[in-house]
Amino acid sequence: MEKKLKIILCVVLIILIALISFVGVYSKDVAFFKNIIPSYSLSSEFSGKRVSRFKIYEGESEKIYDKDGNEVDSIPEGANEEDYRKETIKENPDEIRTVENYKKVKEIATRRLKTLGVADYKIRLNETTGEIAVELEDNENTDTILQDLQCKGDFSITDSQDGTLLLSKSDVKKASVIYTNADGTGITVYIDLKFNKEGTEKLAQISKDYLHVHDENEEEEVDENLKKVTLTIESSEMLTTYFGEEITNGELTISLGTATDSDSLQEYLEQGNFYAMLINDEDMPIKYTVDYSEVTKGNLEGNAVYYIIGTILVIFVVAAIYLIARYKLDGLVGILSMGAFISILLLLVRWTNTEISLNSVVAIAILIILDLYLMTKLFNKIKADSNYEAVRKSTVKTYLENIEIIIVAIIIAIVFTFMREEASFSFGMTLFYGIISIGVANLTFLRTMLLAKYNDK
């Protein structure tokens, strides 16, 4: 009974690991379920790349100044236009077109890509012209990412009537995204602004100056002259409102919307994270625009992917047929262990966001052959002396006798891991994780099931 229980437990654990590896683990996040295991990261070989050239924007803009020389967004309705001065200026005047600013743009763009979770990218800067080439994986998110890279990143809170600047990005200490369950009706997403010392003092005064305690019986627009503020991010007005109370803690929370399904929640979260990214980072010193984009197809697009998957499956099936035909029940146990090793490997690859490329697929094929070789050596020893004590010693002895092969494989994995090329890196990491997975699977599941099988001999 104990023998069967151990084998059943191992099989259940292997199935469980396989389900986690291929399907994932879902947990309830406030109101919706999300997968806590990262998705598989495919290299650009499977989806192609898009190379986009950013050039310096050559357009002009109009600025408006009041009689005191302060810049305002627009001339208030009914105001005397003669009290205001309009000036047409270049968006990117010659004095800001410096190598230092070009490099700063590249640094900000790199930080934005990292914040957006883009793993596969390349950025090249022409220090003479200021043009920047960005190479990204071509997928459904690429257009949005390119738009995000063009944003200047400005943030302000101004007087809604005359455009007087009240608070700017320099007053913000940190911007982040928070969300709460809205009384069971959905999830409300907020962008939370924490101000620095100077910003906290300004916010306290502004909330006092623009304070209006609204009476429930009072109509919202009863006073047309009610003082309000306008919050603007990336030249887009988010909202115009007044303050319902004085804010002295230096924290301002702004609602982005209430989500009633997972898709709308994801949309609000992405919007909030984008705003937080712009506010937390410095402004782009130069405005850029995309000159052109060119898509290069991946080497493994189309049917090539199915050919690769089919090749791996063929190798696995051939290994399974060979083990079962030659070693019967021992071979079946070996196949279960091999399934455990592949599941553990893919789980590690998934959890560490290691890219799956053609080279990593080659590494998986090599690992299957290596595992098959070690199992063959082990099963031959067991076949020659099939008793419990022989099995107990053979499972460890087989590894020690073939330690030089394992060491060579580890060295190759480490060498490729430290190479700059992404394809070489993915090969090295997959090979390294695979060696660990084989060791875990064979010295736990394979050894346990074999010892249970021969326990009565």
Least confident of 94-108, 138-152, 203-217: 203-217
| pLDDT score recorded for residue 419 | 75
Least confident of 75-79, 239-243, 334-338, 426-430: 75-79
| pLDDT score recorded for residue 28 | 64
| pLDDT score recorded for residue 196 | 93
pLDDT above 70: percentage of residues in the chain:
88
State the average pLDDT for the chain. Answer: 83
Q: Residue length, the chain?
A: 457
- State mean pLDDT over 333-342: 90
Q: Does 137 or 127 have the greater pLDDT score? A: 127
Place of tokens 């047929």: 321
234 φ, ψ to 5°? 50, 50
DSSP string, 291-357: EEEEEE--TT-THHHHHHHHHHHHHHHHHHHHHHHHHHHHHHHHHHHHHHHHHHHHHHHHHTT-EE-
Could you tell me the sign of the dihedral formed by the alpha carbons of 398, 399, 401, 405, in that order? positive
**Spans of all domains in the chain:** 2-40+299-453, 49-151+284-296, 154-280
State yes or no: pLDDT of 454 exceeds 80.
no
Give per-residue pLDDT as tens, 149-187.
Answer: 888 888 898 888 877 889 988 899 999 998 887 666 788
> pTM value?
0.62
Fold type of domain 49-151+284-296: Alpha-Beta Plaits (3.30.70)
Name the maximum alpha-carbon separation found in the chain: 105
Least confident of 6-20, 41-55, 237-251: 41-55
Decide whether 2-40+299-453 matches 154-280 in CATH topology: no
Angle at 249 between CA 246 and CA 252, to 5 degrees: 75
| pLDDT score recorded for residue 49 | 81
State yes or no: pLDDT of 287 exceeds 60.
yes
192 confidence band (pLDDT: 50, 70, 90): very high
Fold type of domain 2-40+299-453: Multidrug efflux transporter AcrB transmembrane fold (1.20.1640)
Q: State whether residue 403 is helix, strand or coil.
A: helix
Fold type of domain 154-280: Gyrase A; domain 2 (3.30.1360)
| pLDDT score recorded for residue 214 | 62
**CB of 242 closer than 8 Å to CB of 229:** yes
- State mean pLDDT over 211-217: 66
Place of tokens 């459904």: 140
